[in-house]
Amino acid sequence: MDKIKNDWKKWTYWFLLGVAIIVVYHIFNNFNDVMGVLGGFFEIIAPFLVGIFIAYLLYMPCRKFESVYHKSKSKFIKKKARALGIITVYLIVLAIIIILIGVILPVVVESVTDLLNNIQHYYEMTIDRYNALPDDSILKSDFVNDAIRGIQNLDIKQYFQVNKIVEYVMTAVQAITGIVDVFVALIVSVYILAERTKIIAFLKKIVAAMFKEKTYKNIDKYFNNSNEIFFKFIASQFLDAVIVGVLITIALTIMGVRYAPLLGFFIGLFNMIPYIGAIIATVISAIITLITGGLSQAIWMIIVTIVLQQIDANIINPKIVGQSLKISPLLVLFAVTVGGAYFGILGMFLAVPVVAVIRILVEDYLDFRIAIKRKRKLEEKKKIDADIENV
- How many degrees, rounded to 5, is the angle at CA 80 between CA 75 and CA 83? 160
What lies within 8 Å, CB to CB, of 219 at 6+ separation is 207, 211
Measured CA to CA, the distance from residue 247 to residue 61 in angstroms comes to 25
- Flag whether pLDDT at 157 surpasses 60: no
| Residue 169: CB atoms within 10 Å | 11
**Annotated domain spans of the chain:** 233-323, 325-391
How confident is the model at residue 91, as a pLDDT?
Answer: 92
Contacts of 57 (CB under 8 A, 6+ apart): 231, 234, 235
Between 355 and 19, the higher pLDDT residue: 355
| Residue 171, pLDDT above cutoff 60 | no
Per-residue pLDDT band at 174 (split at 50, 70, 90): low
- pLDDT of 76 > 80? The answer is yes
Higher pLDDT, 94 or 6: 94
Query: Rounded distance, CA 263 to CA 243, Å?
Result: 14
CA distance 300 to 279: 16
Q: What is the pLDDT of residues 308-367, one digit of tens each?
A: 888 887 777 666 655 556 667 777 778 878 887 787 777 777 787 888 888 888 888 888
pLDDT digits (tens, 9 = 90+) for 211-265: 788 888 888 888 888 887 887 777 777 888 888 888 998 998 898 888 888 888 8
> What is the residue-averaged pLDDT of the chain?
76
